[in-house]
Amino acid sequence: VTSNASNTSLLLTIKGTAAPKPAATPEELAASPRMQLQTTGYAFGKIEKGQTVSRTFTFTNTGKSDLAIKGVYSACGCVTHKASKQSVKPGEQATIELRYTPRSLNQQNETVTVSTNDLHNPTQTIVLQANVVESLTQQNMLREQKPAVPF
């Protein structure tokens, strides 16, 4: 791209103030969906690095309107999800399956955030715990004479 302007670069500064989202009215809160998780965490125990484990979490919409799952996020990028429904009617149950593939060793605590349209609590957290080891199989050694022989 060629410019025939006498000044080829300009600096543009934009200033402004971001206003916070207005608080929900009592009527909106009363009509809001509500996500109620049965459990908010799970400990897998000892698992191998790179092994994929999964756990299904059940929740109920205890609110007055449809609950929408907007997203499921984890900071590690090692958790994927599958929701049984993206929209849950009042009084209905649904599930979120979390699949965890750890990449680091030792005790791990992964926080998964579930984002919804629940005005009371728009984000819920689920904590996955695991003791991640290199291998679950221990190699026993049999010593005869000098060299160690694995069996």
pLDDT digits (tens, 9 = 90+) for 89-129: 999 999 999 999 998 899 999 999 999 999 999 999 999 99
DSSP code at position 19: P
Q: Which of 132, 102, 109, 117 is nearest to 40 (CA)?
A: 109
Answer whether 135's CB lies under 8 Å from 48's CB: yes
pLDDT digits (tens, 9 = 90+) for 3-26: 676 766 667 778 777 777 778 888
Is residue 12 classed exposed, middle or buried when 0-12, 13-18 and 19+ CB atoms within 10 A define those classes? exposed
**At 126, which helix (H) or strand (E)?**
strand 123-133
Residues 6+ apart with CB under 8 A from 89: 61, 66, 67
C-alpha torsion 84→43→49→132, nearest 10: 170
pLDDT digits (tens, 9 = 90+) for 49-85: 989 999 999 999 999 999 999 999 998 889 999 999 9
Q: How confident is the model at residue 141 (pLDDT cuts 50, 70, 90)?
A: low
Residues 6+ apart with CB under 8 A from 85: 69, 92, 94
Q: Which of 86, 94, 84 is nearest to 61 (CA)?
A: 94
Q: How far apart are CA 129 and CA 149, in angstroms?
A: 36
Q: Is the dihedral of CA 75, 77, 79, 81 positive or negative?
A: positive
Provide the 10 A C-beta neighbour count for residue 116. 24
